Amino acid sequence: MRFAICHYGWDQDSGVHSCYTRVRLSCTGFVASEPRMAIETINPADGTLVKTFPALTTEAVQQRLALAAEAFASFRRVPLAHRALCMRKLASTLEEEVEDLAALITLEMGKPILAAKAEIVKCAAVCRYYAEHAALILAPEVVQTERNHSYIKWEPLGPILAVMPWNFPFWQVFRFLAPALMAGNVGLLKPAQNVPQCSLAIESLVRRAGFPRGTFQTLLIEVPQVEAVLNDRRVVAVTVTGSEQAGRAIGAQAGWLIKKSVMELGGSDPFIVMASADLELAVTTAVKARTVANGQSCIAAKRFIVAAEIYDEFERRFVDGMEMLRVGDPMRESTDVGPLATVKILEGVEAQVKAAVAAGARVLTGGERLHGKGNYFEPTILTNVPRTAPVFYEEIFGPVAMLFRVQNIDEAIALANDTPFGLGASAWTRDPAEQQRLIAEMECGTVFLNAMVASDPQLPFGGIKRSGHGRELSAAGMREFLNAKTVVIADQGPAEPEPDRKPIVIYEPADRDPDDRTDPYAAYRNR
């Protein structure tokens, strides 16, 4: 069972709160472990140790923190047009080097090579999205008040610590990196221990794109070192993607330090299929939704809730679909499901399945690890999972689906919401009334109707309940790490401002290009 052990106390010398957490970063975040996990690349397809990296010393970490603070002091003043130029260059570099970067993902965490290439392409897309839209997001917002000039000005905060997992080693970093850098913040990445080469490659990509030295740095540190980094006064905020346990450990420390935090944590997303659904499309999508990233995704569908009228047919097709998946070498383009990222993850999934069966669940297909080289687990479907089984309320981070039969939409919604998580939900129905109920009553951050849950740079992404708080992506995600500064300028006289008056014109240099899409003031004028 995953857990974090924290001891809280006051450091008499520094006068700051300390959270001593005997944990390490693993598949979905922090879990108890002794000894500490090494920072190393182990090929999950065959168990080969590829490369080991030493953790940064305390002195080296301090040097990087100093560099981040120094970089922020100047980078926040870099014109937005220049930041956008660098961000577009970063997108182009990602696309040019997609083959090598995708191979690195597959080597370190076992993602099938085609999915790894798609991940890199998506990173390029988020870079272009913020290069194009940052000006509008950052544009001052004029507010009509009794004062002559009132508006909201968006300003960067400073160095932000990003604690990221391994399952999307590029995408989950870039969905933080792109808006943070475009806003004028700087980033410090604490990656998962098993994807150091992906993380170092990201730092190199940012630097080669033209961003100033120190604006984005990878910290190859062990988990106990995270506390000191977050305690440092130069670090102003933290974002975490990982497990509930990771969020608790880091969120507790950030809360005590009164530092902003954004948490995208675990999920056990429902996939509801009602009688009116396009059954063929729903089944095809269900197989894909459960096995994305070899089943190791927070927003992967994990609980499949099917109306009784179509349950038997859905079960038959779902089993057939899972059994047709090709499990094997992730470097082959024909592979559908590769290995799990680490031996411990494999052992954890195996233990969850065995515990479910012991509690009364039935295995429809799969249910076993594949012995031999590599961390392979069969695509699996469990049914008759009782609420007394631990896995009923846990997240399964592997290609294991739980299948449930319900009599009506009331039962479907109640079962879908019977979870401590609230990340995403996919629901399949062509009935307008059912669609509206699902939208209104599902307890989650994202609802997809007749489609698989996926993140999109244009839309806010995040969860509720134990799936975390805050949002990533879109304008909402960019503004999580911005100061919404209220500005009020009062005139001496009582005269009302003229309707066409531009309250912020006093800050606008005369040589600004009125058509410059990267100029926030031009964006304000044009919206």
Query: Which run of H or of E encompasses 371?
Result: none
**Size of the chain in residues:** 527
CB of 394 within 8 A of CB of 268?
yes
Three-state secondary-structure class, residue 397: coil
Q: Which of 19, 86, 123, 298 is catalytic?
A: 298
**Chain center to CA of 16:** 29
Pairing type for strands 149-156 and 141-142 reads antiparallel
Q: Per residue in 315-342, is it b (16+ CB within 10 Å) or e — as a string?
A: bebbbebbeebebbbbbeeebbbbbbbb
| 349 contact partners, CB below 8 Å, separation of at least 6 | 340, 369, 377, 396, 397, 398, 400
Amino acid identity, position 104:
L
Query: Which run of H or of E encompasses 516?
Result: none
Sign for the CA dihedral angle at 164, 169, 175, 178 comes to positive
Query: Which run of H or of E encompasses 250?
Result: helix 244-257
Clarify whether 264 is annotated catalytic.
yes
DSSP codes of every residue in 182-207 = HHT-EEEEE--TT-HHHHHHHHHHHH
Clarify whether 86 is annotated catalytic.
no
| 26 contact partners, CB below 8 Å, separation of at least 6 | 2, 33, 37, 192, 193, 342, 344, 345
Q: What is the DSSP letter of 22?
A: -
- Comparing CA positions, the residue from 212, 351, 159, 224 lying closest to residue 340 is 351
**How far is residue 141's CA from residue 124's CA, in Å, rounded to a whole number?**
29
Q: Which of 119, 244, 264, 394 is catalytic?
A: 264
For 285, the token pair is: 């999508």
Sign for the CA dihedral angle at 110, 114, 119, 124 comes to positive
Enumerate the active-site residues. 264, 298
